[in-house]
Amino acid sequence: MQLKSTPCLAIAGLAIVLGVSSPTLALALPPATTCQASIPLDQGASLTYRLIGTFADPVPSNSPQNPIGLTTIITVQRRDRNGQITTLLNRAIVQDYEQIAPDADYSKLPFTGEFRGKPNDGSRLYGVTASKQGLYVSLRPTIGQPQKMQIVHYLSKGKLVRSSNGQCQTQA
C-alpha cells in the first residue's frame, strides 16, 4: 500500500519540525496605581486607606480574562489622637463587587455623587470580604486609570463612615 502525501500534511509536519507556532496575542499589563483616602473620626482619631492595584479597562464578560498580576490590595490603619498607629487590615484582597454580588443594585451602596454605582453597572466598585462589617471602594473614572477613590466603611452594624475624594497616582 502506497501512502499519498498531501500538501497540507507536509506543511503541518514542517511547522512541527521547525517549531513554528501560530501567532499569539501579547497582553501588556497597565501600570500599578496607588490610591489613598482618610476619614476623620471622633476625638482626633482618623482612618487611612491605602489601595494598590493594577486596573485594566473593563472587558465584556464573554471575553477571556487573565487575572495574573491583577490582584488589588488595601491596608487600613487607625491613628489615635496621640499619633499611635494600629493596622486594622494589612494587604487585604479587594474584589470586584460585580463578582461578589452579581445581582446587586449597585446604586444602593452609599457612595456619593460621581462615585455612586448604577443599578445594573458596578464598574470600578469593589468589596473587601476580610472586613467584618463591610468595606467598599469606588474608583473613578470607570475607563482608563483611576484618578479618585471614595471609601465606605461600616465600623459597626448601621454605623458607616465615608471618605471624601481620595487621590490616586499611577506609577510610570
- Region 27-59+68-170: CATH code: 2.40.370
Q: How far apart are the first and last CA of the chain?
A: 66
Grid cell, residue 144, equals 482608563
| 166: pLDDT strictly greater than 50 | yes
Q: Which DSSP string do the residues of 6-30 spell out, in sequence order?
A: -HHHHHHHHHHHHT--------PPP
pTM for this one? 0.78
Contact (Cβ atoms closer than 8 angstroms) between residue 149 and residue 137: yes
Longest Cα separation, the chain: 94
- Structure confidence by residue, pLDDT tens digits, 32-89: 999 999 999 999 999 999 999 998 776 555 555 545 557 899 999 999 999 999 999 9
SS3 105: coil
- Structure confidence by residue, pLDDT tens digits, 67-83: 555 789 999 999 999 99
Q: Is the peptide bond before 141 cis (omega within 30 degrees of 0)?
A: yes
Question: Domain coordinates of the chain in residue numbers?
Answer: 27-59+68-170
- Rg (C-alpha) for the chain, rounded Å, is 23
The four Cα atoms 106, 158, 127, 43 give a dihedral, to 10 degrees, of: 130
* Residue at 38: amino acid letter: S
What pLDDT shows up at residue 78?
98
What pLDDT shows up at residue 69?
56
Q: Is the peptide bond before 58 cis (omega within 30 degrees of 0)?
A: no
